Amino acid sequence: MCRDAYVPYEPLNVLKPVAPDVWIVDGPEIRLSYMGLKLPFPTRMTVVRLPDGGLWIHSPIEPDGALVERILALGPIRFLIAPNTLHYWWVPDWKARFPEAEVHGVPGLDRKAKRPLPVDRVLGDAPAAAWADVMDQVLVHGDGLTEADFFHRPSQTLILTDLIENFEMGRVRQWFYRWLLRLAGPVDPDGKTPVDLQLSFLRQRRAVKAAVRRMIAWSPERVIIAHGRWYDGNGTAELQRAFRWVL
């Protein structure tokens, strides 16, 4: 097998405008250990410029030097967001470069992280005061994954991480990974929560349903996700489709 499992969302390490004050950055492929396998995933982070000009960085990817310079041209980096118990790996590297930035992580991440992770504040079910004027927030608890999700009100953009994945089969280079993804279910155009994560939420199903209903009530136009094709329109309908397993 070749090193890269996916055709990348090029250009990589470049700010891509989503809406006023919202950008995504597609990064290089990574491999995560899961059930004895090293599974490949494309990466994506989101940058939001807050009303005071400070930057809020969600699920930071590897801090490439040129990328950091491009981001700093937008404003000072104030907040580093580790949005779930899987998406945190590069946060310490960003914190080392920008020690004044606050790290916000989901509950329990400081214990579960596989490398030292300096969490300054724990993400809850309500937005921090620093971004409450422009963002709503909901915390989704699970046995296998806990994730904080965010809604940027001015742009009507919902920012998820792993609760929806949407892999395009035309971008998957190896048959084995295509088979695994079809087995797990998060395949474009019917991206959704992978089956293994759905099962991890069985005991919290009622709470997950309530959280999803909150997201739908926000009526997002766009839905950014970390893995696969994100939704640049018709966001509310995509949520209702992707979360039909719990609604």
Compute the average pLDDT of residues 24-34. 87
Asked if residue 36 has pLDDT above 70, the reply is: no
Domain hosting residue 24, numbered range: 15-242
In a domain, 58, yes or no: yes
Mean pLDDT of 37-57: 93
Is position 10 within any domain?
Answer: no
pLDDT band of 1, cuts 50, 70, 90:
very low
The reported pTM is 0.96
Q: Does 184 score more than 60 pLDDT?
A: yes
| Assigned domain for 30 exists | yes
CA angle 228, 232, 238 (to 5 degrees): 75
Q: Please report, for the domain that includes residue 130, its CATH number.
A: 3.60.15.10
Could you give the number of structural domains in the chain? Answer: 1
Mean pLDDT of 204-230: 98
Position 2 pLDDT exceeds 60? no
